[in-house]
Amino acid sequence: MQNSAAEFIGQVLCDRYQIEKQLGQKTGRRTFLAIDLQTELPVVIKLLIFNNEFIWDDLKLFEREAETLKHLDLPAIPRYLDYFEFDLPKLKGFALVQTYIDAPSLEEVVSSGRRFTESDLQEFATSVLDILDYLHSLQPPVIHRDLKPSNILLANRSGNSIGEVYLVDFGSVQNVAAKDGGTMTVVGTYGYMPMEQFGGKTVPASDLYSLGATLIYTISGTHPADLPQDDGKIQLPVNNLSKGWRRWLETITEVSLKKRFPDVSTAKLALARLDESDSIVREKPYGSKIVLNKQADAIEIFIPDRRFPIQWRVAFIVSLFILPIQFTLTVLFGFYIFISIPLTILSPQLLAFALVIYNFIYYFFGKLHLKITKNRISFHKRIGIFQFGRQTPTSPYLNIDRLVYRLKSQLQGEKKALFTTTKEIVIHAGVREYRIHSNSEAECEWLLAELSEYLDLPVNR
């Protein structure tokens, strides 16, 4: 039978921990505030009780929580103190003891009527991302799997600061082994758990979704499960958010893992650049020669390509390679082609000259032409109306899964004294990559913002 809370009050476990009051309850588990009789300090004690609610999977999760907390060392996470089995006349089970944090939960704070400014939200999100960064950076990564308002505590608010942020309740935690890439245990809270978690798979980006859902609750005061959804995607209920914040929340709560921020670093970088992205999207940089045509069903970009399509060494090697062949033919066939000797001698030079002319024409008039519609993505080199092959084969639009910005630094020159940086935008469509180059960082940032908005993908840097 299920035990009432009154049966626990006043009990002393392990001749040391005296239970004072109940803090929370889940199926098969109870959480209490207790006093450590040796230190006279308050502690949190979680009990897994052998009763009619007990199942063996709960014991595995309980033991995993204890083992995980034992190896965590972060002020924003409760500290492991003790773990033992207890056996009382009417109570049997296991107990986990951890430090007590005297602070209200985010759910209690929001329920009391407090609302958060965008500055508060940014400070709060950054604090939680720092905690997740610590957990996900462990080997193997530790995934919380139940991040929600009731499991986040806020303490010591002062002035313009939201105060200290704590993440508690690691009862659903999972250590994800690198060889697995996921788990097969369905845990979490409806409204705060992403779609892949319903399927039994959890990855680090799953915690990011839960953070986004928690922020939506913080803004609206309504649990995400009670908000309207479109194909499983939470619809933001308020319109007074800045464009940057709205896009960040939409990205972090994407149903598809391909469209969601892939990791904490990407989410933090995008969060730090909210204001920048807003200003970049508004207009293209002054003096830019790039032409961008954007419509509801297509985006088309023409970029002057200030690079030589054929390396000069190639033209030279072609000349040296073809010249001996022509002379050999002349020797073999003698008089019959004697009259063609002048042309034979000149043909390699003419070919090399043609390559040189092509190089210069493309350098001054050539453009990269990127076109993305709702059906496909295509990428070509063009001179005027003429198209010169496909730089990368055409791909279906649905294959586009990543947008990357790369800065490649390298030393050039004989003495390696010249330091250059190559700026490159890469659109990934499965195994295919569509690359855009520009010498201007402002142009790249502008194009990234436009492409990110059209493709509905975050920028990986």
Catalytic residue numbers read 146
Dihedral sign of CA atoms 226, 227, 231, 236 in order: negative
Tokens 């109870």, residue?
A: 30
User: Pairing mode, if any, of strands 400-412 and 459-460?
Assistant: parallel
218 residue type, one letter:
T
Pair 261, 205: CB distance under 8 Å: yes
> Residue 429 has which token pair?
């469509």
Residue 26 pairs in a beta bridge with 29
d(CA 200, CA 193) in angstroms, rounded, equals: 11
Distance CA 148, CA 434 (A): 39
CA neighbor of 155 nearest in space, from 169, 166, 147? 166
Question: Which ranges of 117-182 does DSSP label H, i.e. alpha helix?
Answer: 118-137
Q: Report whether the peptide linkage leading into residue 141 is cis, meaning its omega lies within 30 degrees of zero.
A: no
Amino acid at 59: L
